[in-house]
Every structure is written in C-alpha cells, then in structure tokens.
Structure 1
Amino acid sequence: MNDRLSTLRLFVRAARVGNFSSAGRELGLSQPSASRLIATLEEEVGARLFSRTTRAVTLTEAGATYLMRVEAILAALDEADHEARGTGELRGSLRVGTSSSFVLREIIPRLPAFLKQHATLKIELVANDRYQDLVTEGIDVAFRFGPLPDSSAMARKIIHLPRILMASPDYLRERGTPTTPSDLAHHSVIIGPAHPSPTFSFRKDGRVTSVRVDSQLAITINEGATASAVAGLGIAASSENSARAELAAGQLVRVLPDWDFGSMEVNALFVGGKTIKPAARAFADFLLRELRPPRRELARFSGPPESVSVRPNQ
C-alpha cells in the first residue's frame, strides 16, 4: 500500500478514529507503517495535518481543511466507480449519524432490506441525542429533526412526523385527562428533545393556543421521555412514530388528540461539498421511500422532498 490514493484513505480513517493504529489496522497496516505514510503525506502536502500525543491524534486547522477537500475527492471517485459499474451495487463503508430513538425505531427495523440489496456495503450507525459534527466525526449522512439553518451544505427533506402528547393510563386515572391545552398547566409535563421548550402551542379551527407547562422532569433523550411517560411520571411530547409500539400496546394513550401539536421535519444532511457519496444518497432515498406516508395521507405533510442549504456541522 504505497500509492497516494490509499494514503488519502488512511488519512481520512485516522482523522475519523483519532488513532493511527486503529486506522492502519482497518487497512491491513501496522502502526509504524501507518505513521510513516501519514508523515510522508505531510511532507508532500507541506503542512502538519495532525497534532500527536501518546494517546491520540487530532487534526490541526490545516488538517481539518484538508480533510474536507479529500473527502470530497474520494466521494467523487466513489461516484465515478458507482456509475461505471452500472449495476447499482454499493461498496465500501457508510457512516450514519442520527438520534437514538430514530435509529432504534425507524432505521434498524428497515436495515435488513437495505443490506440485503447491498451485501458488500458496511454500515456504521452513530446514534446519540446530540448533533454530531459531520466533518470531525466522519459522518456521511445524518438525519436531523426540525428546521435547518441556512448554509452551503446539502440536505434532503425526508418527511414531517406529527408531534403528539402522550401519558400512561395510570397517570391519567390519578391526575385526570386534559381536555384543553390550558389543563396542561395543572399537570406534570416531561420536557424532552421532541419539545424542549416549556411553552406548548396548539392549533384548532384556525386559532393558536399557547400554554406554559410545569415540569418536574427534563430528559435529553427521546427514548427516556417515552419510558418516563410509560412509568407514569407525566405527560410527554414525542413524534407519533417514536411511540407507535407503546400506543399500540396500550402502555400510552394520546393526550389532546383533537388539537394539532405541529410536526417535526426530518432531513438527511450530507457532507462532501456538491459530491454526495453514492451510498449516502442511496440510503437517504431508501428511507424516504420507506417513511413516506401513503398517497391518501400526503395532504397532512408540507410537500415533496427537496434540497435545502444547511450548516455542515450541525
């Protein structure tokens, strides 16, 4: 392994994992060989790309800029190879970033069908309830919730997920069932990522009603908010999809079902400049087809998927 292209792939892996040994091992290299190749690359580039310590390596400012350019080049090469094959076969690796709830509830159940179509593709799911930095964490495609700020990166609108309120039957028996939004002021409302603000707004018959709720419990992961509602700790907000199983099992029931509580926009966010990795584009298209509502329900959502501009590190 001594060609420039292979060295660039090694550089990208080292930047992603923060370790020459791990990156080299993935590519069949010893740690000394990986370190030597990176040092040679730095000499050829004429800049120090990594800061080195005994425990890890981190990108320098020049290295971070170089990574963005190199990943765009490698993505363009992958695209060329993909088109040349003409078979639709996806190869290599795909790194997907999203929330823990979305990966558990929506991605993993659908993953067998996608992997069956692309048996030579390797997927790494990076799941947590904070926004991953797409560049420094090497995310090829990330799924984001809510409106996205303007920037130069590309995103694909996947779907709008209706937002609902829900509580356990035991909680509602003990505390009563709200019939209007103003009733929420007398309930314990769980604050979670689906609605982090204590002010809740509803729409009905063309009128907007807002209420400020009291919260004894706040939690940063959506699965935790759902579990807390099941445990009878209060009323929680979530997307309808994220609580489908608990609602079907009767562990949770909808609260204020006749009031429109809005929806959460889901976007697929890409890195790599104007060149999107073929596997990233294919996976976003796959989820779009899987999650798109039946034609009779399309009027509930705000139009077809579209490209928008967003920040690459959000």
Structure 2
Amino acid sequence: MKDFLTLRLYARVARLGSISAAARECGLSQSQASRIVADLEDGLGARLLSRTTRAVVPTEAGAEFLARAEAILDAIEDARNVVREGEDLQGLVRISMPSTMGYLEVIPRLTGFTELHPALRLQILLEDQRQDLVRDAVDVAIRLGTLSDASATAQKITTIPRVILASRRYLDKAGEPITPADLTHHRIIGGPSGVAAWAFEREGEKVAVDLQPHISVNDNEGAVVAAIAGMGICSTPCRRPRPEMLDGSLVPLLTDWARPPVEVHAYFPLGRQTRIAARSLVAYLKAGFGEPV
C-alpha cells in the first residue's frame, strides 16, 4: 500500500508539474510529498524529476518510470474493480466537462450513480477549455460538438437541441427576426463554438446565415447571461426550458426553423486502458440522458 501511494503521488507530481499541487490532491503536506519523492529517487538510485523555480518536469528516466507507474496504478485499480463487476466500484474517477454542461446536465444525473457505488470517489473538473487528458490524468471528458481529438477515443452519449434566444428588453428595442436572414440586422452573441455561420432547416429547406458576433463568450452560460442582459441574440444548447424562458424574460426565436443539435461525446485518453469505473459512469450517463433530470 505504501508503494501504491508513492507511485500515485509521483504520477501526479509529474503530470501537474508541481509538488505542492500534487500534495494537495493526495491529502499531504508539501514537506511530506517532497520527502516521499526524494525517498523514491534514493531507493531507485536515479533522478526522476528536474526541479526549477518555475516547474517540476520528469527527466528521461522519470518519463519512462511515469509511463510504467501509471500502467501499474491503472491495473491495480481495475483489478480491484473487475472482481466487483456489477457490485460496488472503488477508487477514483476524474471526469472533466464544460461548466454549463456540468451544472445543468451531468452533475444532477450523478446522484443515482454515487448511490450505486458509494465507495467510488468522483473528481469533477469543470473546465471550459479543452484539457490534455493524459497530462491531467482525466479518465473521461464530456465534450460538446463534433470535436476531433487524436489523443482520445470518443463515444457519443447524447444530442442536445439548440435554441435561439433574446431578452424581451432587446426585442422591444430591435424587433423580432422572422426569418434566419433577419439575424444579419441584429446584434449577435457568439458562443464557444466560434462558428460564424448559423445553419437552419425547415421542411427540407436548408439555410446558412453568415453572422459576425458583436460579443463573443467562451462559455454557453455566459452567452445566455449576455442575452438576458439585453446585449443581443444567442444560440445555445437547451434540453428543457430555462426559468427565464418560462417567465418570459427570454424569448425563443425562429421556432419554426430547426438548428442542428449539439452532439455530446465522452472522450477516453489513448495510451491508457479505459478504466472499468469510467466506462460504467459513461454507460450510466448515456442511459440517463433519455430521462429528464
């Protein structure tokens, strides 16, 4: 068990590039973590980490040791869980996702999973920027859109409809667009996709409108907040009516036109065995997306 904890600590130091960050993650003081890593290097008779004032990075020997250590850690945790197939899972699963997706769709659906596996620890990373799954030791990342990631394998888990929204305050001043082409005369709030053309379809007719955002936000929820504030019109994934839509402060627009839904994928890092617990978590989410929160 001591060797297991030492390997886990070393792996996190090497991936995070920081002894203090790894110590916090492992529930240790920085001095404890430093001593454990030093003892590991002494025992191996090799320098595993190169320490500078700015970062801690693996040496050539350290990188080789890291690859083998992570394989051992994953194998040990999966060995524990494989004999519990269908029973309580144990260990730690690190899951990453955009913050809005986490708040509205994923976290509310995890209660049943945590009740099924009370011994399993979940570390939820709400990150609106894409992460390096291997470097950050992420077991599964939930991402929106048809992304291409050469360092991961993907599994589609659901789709989410898009809606066009604006505040009543904005529409009272600027008027309501009747056709997609009318959007060119309005203030547009761009979201994290960065796509300038908005595609629409109605009864087989397809239209794409090139739009130049007046305001760009790298988070879907931020784009919606900007729309609520009356800054313009946004397009956002929306599975169910928001409270602001129900009370009339946000108005759905162009409802007779459909926008392509947003695909939601689970990404697993390449080069590491897909963890049993991560697979179980994704299967649970995939089944649960068929039901409302």
Q: Which TM class, normalised by the smaller chain length?
A: 0.7 to 0.9
Q: What are the equivalent positions in structure 2 for 1:260-279 lying under 5 Å apart? A: 260-271=258-269, 273=271, 275-279=273-277
Q: What are the equivalent positions in structure 2 for 1:37-76 lying under 5 Å apart? A: 37-40=39-42, 43=45, 48-54=47-53, 56-60=55-59, 63=62, 67-76=66-75
Residue identity in the other structure for 1:8:
L
Taking a change above 3 Å as real, the CA distance of residues 78 and 206 of structure 1, as seen in their structure-2 partners, is same
Q: How many matched pairs? A: 289
Q: What are the equivalent positions in structure 2 for 1:164-183 lying under 5 Å apart? A: 164-183=163-182
Of residues 5-14 and 199-208 in structure 1, the stretch that sits farther from structure 2 once superposed is 5-14
Match for residue 11 of structure 1? Answer: 10
Taking a change above 3 Å as real, the CA distance of residues 136 and 260 of structure 1, as seen in their structure-2 partners, is same
Match for residue 247 of structure 1? Answer: 245
Taking a change above 3 Å as real, the CA distance of residues 97 and 65 of structure 1, as seen in their structure-2 partners, is farther
Counterpart check, 1:153 vs 2:152:
yes
CA RMSD across the alignment: 2.7
Of residues 130-139 and 106-115 in structure 1, the stretch that sits farther from structure 2 once superposed is 106-115
Counterpart check, 1:190 vs 2:189:
yes
Q: CA deviation at 1:21?
A: 4.7
- Structure-2 separation of matches of 1:64 and 1:288: 35
Unaligned 5+ segments in structure 2 are none
Taking a change above 3 Å as real, the CA distance of residues 183 and 28 of structure 1, as seen in their structure-2 partners, is closer
Taking a change above 3 Å as real, the CA distance of residues 108 and 154 of structure 1, as seen in their structure-2 partners, is same
CA contact (8 A) 1:7 1:37 kept: no
Taking a change above 3 Å as real, the CA distance of residues 271 and 215 of structure 1, as seen in their structure-2 partners, is closer
Match for residue 230 of structure 2? Answer: 232
- Structure-2 separation of matches of 1:225 and 1:65: 44
For normalisation by structure 1, the TM-score amounts to: 0.81
Match for residue 140 of structure 2? Answer: 141
Taking a change above 3 Å as real, the CA distance of residues 151 and 209 of structure 1, as seen in their structure-2 partners, is same
SS across alignment from 1:241: coil
- Structure-1 separation of matches of 2:241 and 2:222: 11
Unaligned 5+ segments in structure 1 are 295-314
Taking a change above 3 Å as real, the CA distance of residues 122 and 55 of structure 1, as seen in their structure-2 partners, is farther
- Structure-2 separation of matches of 1:69 and 1:85: 25
- Structure-1 separation of matches of 2:65 and 2:206: 49
Match for residue 33 of structure 1? Answer: 35
Identity, % of aligned positions: 39
CA contact (8 A) 1:68 1:135 kept: no
Taking a change above 3 Å as real, the CA distance of residues 210 and 18 of structure 1, as seen in their structure-2 partners, is same
CA contact (8 A) 1:187 1:214 kept: no
CA contact (8 A) 2:16 2:135 kept: no
Higher relative contact order (CA 8 A, sep 6+): 1
Q: CA deviation at 1:9?
A: 1.7
Q: CA deviation at 1:165?
A: 1.1
Counterpart check, 1:281 vs 2:283:
no
- Structure-1 separation of matches of 2:117 and 2:2: 29
Q: CA deviation at 1:117?
A: 2.2
CA contact (8 A) 1:72 1:272 kept: no
SS across alignment from 1:265: strand
Match for residue 203 of structure 1? Answer: 201
Residue identity in the other structure for 2:39:
L
SS across alignment from 2:109: helix
Q: CA deviation at 1:32?
A: 4.2
Match for residue 300 of structure 1? Answer: none
CA contact (8 A) 1:96 1:123 kept: yes
CA contact (8 A) 2:9 2:33 kept: no
Residue identity in the other structure for 2:188:
V
SS across alignment from 2:156: strand
Residue identity in the other structure for 1:109:
P
